[in-house]
Structure 1
């Protein structure tokens, strides 16, 4: 099992628990994407946020995070005001 937590500084925090890092990455991308989309930012700012902050963190979870979790290690990544962490759960 994996516990994935994330925070958008001063805006939103959430968590997910499941058995697959790829599914966690999809949940992270959808959940944070929905918050960003509903934020009231201009469309170009939303796109910038998704490209420069959300995208790199999700990609890191899919690659580096998956490898770390497979070794029984934790993973974390921050980009701008966004932080995500994943840890194996017994």
Structure 2
């Protein structure tokens, strides 16, 4: 079990708790994607945001994030205005 916390600067902050790293990545993708869609950015900028900031952080959850949490360590990754932190649940 681990907790994922994320912040999208000036837009949104939230958390999720579970034990499936792929599900965590999907939740992050859905939640941050929804915030980006509602932000008023034009479609090209939204695509750039998703590719440049969201994708690298999301993709890190299932590999580097999982490896860190499974060894009892936290993991964090920031890209532009997005910060994600994974911590083992006590």
Instruction: Please give the secondary structure, in 2, of the residue aligned with 1:78.
Output: strand
- Any gaps of 5 or more consecutive residues in structure 1? none
Note the alpha carbon deviations across 1:43-66, whole angstroms, 9 max, x for none. 000000000000000011121001
Structure-1 separation of matches of 2:40 and 2:75 = 31
**Aligned position for 1:12:** 12
Structure-2 separation of matches of 1:88 and 1:19 = 10
Taking structure 1 as the reference length, what is the TM-score of the superposition? 0.96
* Moved >2 Å (runs of 4+): none
The Cα of 1:81 is off from its aligned counterpart by 0.7
**Aligned position for 1:47:** 47
Instruction: Please give the secondary structure, in 2, of the residue aligned with 1:44.
Output: helix
**Aligned position for 2:68:** 68
Instruction: Please give the secondary structure, in 2, of the residue aligned with 1:84.
Output: strand
**Aligned position for 2:83:** 83
- Any gaps of 5 or more consecutive residues in structure 2? none
Task: Report the count of equivalent residues.
Answer: 90
